[in-house]
Chain A
Amino acid sequence: MPNVQPRVLVAILVYNGRPFVPAAVESAARLQGQGRSDVDVLVLDDCSPDPGWSGDLEKLCDAVSVQYYRSPRNLGIPRNMNLALLRALHDDYDYVVLCNSDVVLPLNLCDAMVGAVSDPSVGSVTAWSNSVSIYSLENADPDRNLAHFGAVDFLSAALEGEFATECVEIPTAVGFCMLIPVRVVRAVGLLDPVFGRGYCEEVDWCLRSHRAGYRSVLGVATFVYHVGNGTTRDAGLLERGQFTSWANEAIIDMRYPDYRDSLAAWAETTTLGATTQRALLRIVACAAREWGYSVEASWLHRPNTSDPVQFVVEPDGTEPLLTGRFQGFKVGIPIEGGDVLSTVERLVGGRPSAVSILDRGRFAATLEERATASGIRVVEGRTYPERV
């Protein structure tokens, strides 16, 4: 029996967005012809009014060999998403991915998300991201650190290495990048146009899918950079300082009176916190293996441009606190047996390039001794205490 690749339609929903859409389209175009899935990319331009933009977008799509369609009238996000679902149904795709246009997609997107639906009870998979509602993997400066192909590819590969097909159950998907098996679309139906121009339509769809016996999960083996509200602010759906449509939230409250309580219950019982810790440790360790790292004892950490990965320990805290840092990601690491160097070397599997001692203290002294004994370069930076 020939090994049939699953067919995936990746639909990018566009409304204006000239500053960020090209990156989304180009990152999606890379998905075609690689990986374990047979991927087609379709850009759905919801009658963008920005003069000349649709023409430029169509040329871009042609240049990177992705399909392009411009609606003759503006449909709003739910109905534009429905076009993607209808296309997937019509052409017998196995999966459809609905994407905002303020994203950068990694190479492993489809493989990782298809892997998460190996369990047939999964009705939707949401990609992990720096900006995915309450499930975010936070970064101090995502626009600077994460908005390029190299970053998302590296992070996704690291997460896939850690999690494979693991996923975390969540109360509802987030529509910025969600995969739906087409058989589930047939069972549950389309998104409800009552949500107008957008917001909460995917919440409603997911809660309907749950009533049909399906689950929503977070696909933690892939990472998508997301600007957040880029599409909707540009479309005028949100006022300044607003992050949702309160009118649409009211429809959700009316249809699903237990929904808010279920969010609170999920927050109490979820394993996402532990998963996040694993993810951050993995990212920092992989980065350290790839680019090397240094260790620093200081009260006030300052980013080191020559070492993208740094492990920082408080020189003399009442409780030992070791923090791993990489490109805006930060993770707390328990120190094993009071030995900072062994803890880090065991995590990374290699020695640091240097140990910097910027402040005095018990841990700083031990660290300096161990580094010297191991032949690791020690950089001294003490003049006066860094902390007041």
Chain B
Amino acid sequence: MKMDSPDVKSKSKNPDVGDILDELSLTQALLDFEIANARVIDLTHRLVEANRLIEELRQEVDDAHTELSELQSVHDRMKGSQAFRIASKIWALRNAVRA
């Protein structure tokens, strides 16, 4: 059975109704297109801005990781020093005497 072609003219037994609705439909379709296009442009701008923000935040996270790594290294060196070991022992002795 033949399928209705999308190009077939809209049908109405009452020609006035068909003509009126064809015109209303076409006019509104053109308006809808303008709005849809404006939305695409707006969403594209917002997407680009969001992407930029993601990149900034990614860089900040990378920088924070690097700083953390350096500070961790300093911290480890400090804990491994003789001065720190002596101080830890004095502190442990003091706590034992007080207890």
Contacts and interface: CB of A to CB of B under 8 A. Distances in A.
Interface residues of B, number: 25
B6 A72 contact: yes
Contacts of A190: 28
Given A67-B14, A79-B32, A72 B24 contact: no
Contacts, number: 65
Nearest to B25: A83
Given A51-B1, A51-B3, A58 B21 contact: no
A193 B33 CA distance: 10
B11 A58 contact: yes
A190 B39 CA distance: 17
A83 B21 contact: yes
Contacts of B9: 72
B31 to A, nearest CB: 9
A382 B7 CA distance: 71
Nearest to B31: A190
Interface residues of A, number: 27
A91 to B, nearest CB: 8
A350 to B, nearest CB: 50
B24 A67 contact: no
Given A67-B14, A72-B9, A90 B24 contact: yes
Given A54-B4, A73-B6, A68 B12 contact: yes
Contacts of B81: none
A62 interface: yes
A70 interface: yes
A373 B13 CA distance: 67
Nearest to A52: B1
B7 A86 contact: no
B69 to A, nearest CB: 39
A90 B6 contact: no
Interface in A73-109: 73, 75, 79, 82-83, 86-87, 90-91
A34 interface: no
A39 to B, nearest CB: 15
B36 interface: yes
A73 B2 CA distance: 17
A150 to B, nearest CB: 30
Nearest to B16: A67
A184 interface: no
A47 B11 CA distance: 10
A372 interface: no
A43 B25 CA distance: 15
B10 A71 contact: yes
Contact of A62 (B3, B13, B32): B13
A215 to B, nearest CB: 27
B3 A49 contact: yes
